[in-house]
Structure 1
Amino acid sequence: MDSIGAQSYAKVLENGVQAIEEVNRLRNSGYTREDIYVISHDEDREGRIVDAADTNEVGLKEEGLFGAIANMFRSRGDELRSMITSLGFTEAEADFYEKELDLGKVIVIAKKPSA
């Protein structure tokens, strides 16, 4: 499922290779490193893909101080849903994407650059 909302675009992918290809495709269409995020249920896998694709991780800038601190006390699923909503998706969309992550998939999200 691809989701193109008012704020962000997301694509569910089967693996890291496809995620890197999607990051490259987004870069070729005008997105910058700062606009693109990779999310995986496995934090180590996520880090490897982020490093290989030279892209962004969801952090303090996206979630805000309260969200980042709250994530220290959340389950990984709750943390992922929080990350996804901080990038402009609804709670229902975040639930859908988190279930896809539970299945071992990877999500590439691109925030639309501010005009």
Structure 2
Amino acid sequence: MAANTKAYAKVVENGVQAVEAVKELRNTGYSYEDVYVLAHSTDRTDKIAETADAKEIGRKEEGMFDSLANLFRSRGDELRAKIQSMGFTEAEADFYEKELDQGKILVIANKLT
């Protein structure tokens, strides 16, 4: 992966901050297709993604194998796999997953195409 395509991530405290972070990313040139949100619970992720008009990390980003494997993983393992699928290292995914465990939200910008 080229250095200029490295994913950007920001940890925020709540949904309001997530919406603001998504707006900031859009103002700097990221499109809807490039901005993702992730929270510890899937319901919270759904609500924040809808409110912020951002995407969720899904089969397209993860690939079929990881998407299927997530059906059998703990939520923590699933979150780490989703974060890694966005271009982050295992250590970065561990760090971000711990933040999500504490109720925070992860906003990611990544031009995957």
Cα shift readout 1:42-96 (whole Å, capped 9, x = no counterpart): 1111100000111111011111000000000000000000000000000000000
User: Does the 8 Å contact 1:71/1:79 carry over to 2?
Assistant: yes
What percentage of residue pairs aligned between the two structures are identical? Answer: 61
Aligned AA (1:98): E
Gaps of 5+ in 1: none
Q: Structure 1 counterpart of 2:34, which letter?
A: D
Counterpart-to-counterpart distance in 1, 2:112 and 2:41: 27
Q: How many residues align?
A: 111
TM-score normalized by the length of structure 1: 0.92
Q: Tell me the distance in 2 between the aligned counterparts of 1:71 and 1:5.
A: 29
Instruction: Tell me the distance in 2 between the aligned counterparts of 1:26 and 1:94.
Output: 21
SS of aligned partner of 1:112: coil
Give the corresponding residue for 2:90. 91
Partner Cα separation in structure 2 for residue 21 and residue 90 of structure 1: 26
* Structure 1 runs, 4 residues or longer, greater than 6 Å off: none
Gaps of 5+ in 2: none
RMSD over aligned Cα atoms: 1.5
2:58: which partner in 1? 59
| 1:32 CA displacement | 0.4
**TM (normalized to structure 2)?**
0.93
Q: Which residue does the alignment assign to 1:17? A: 16
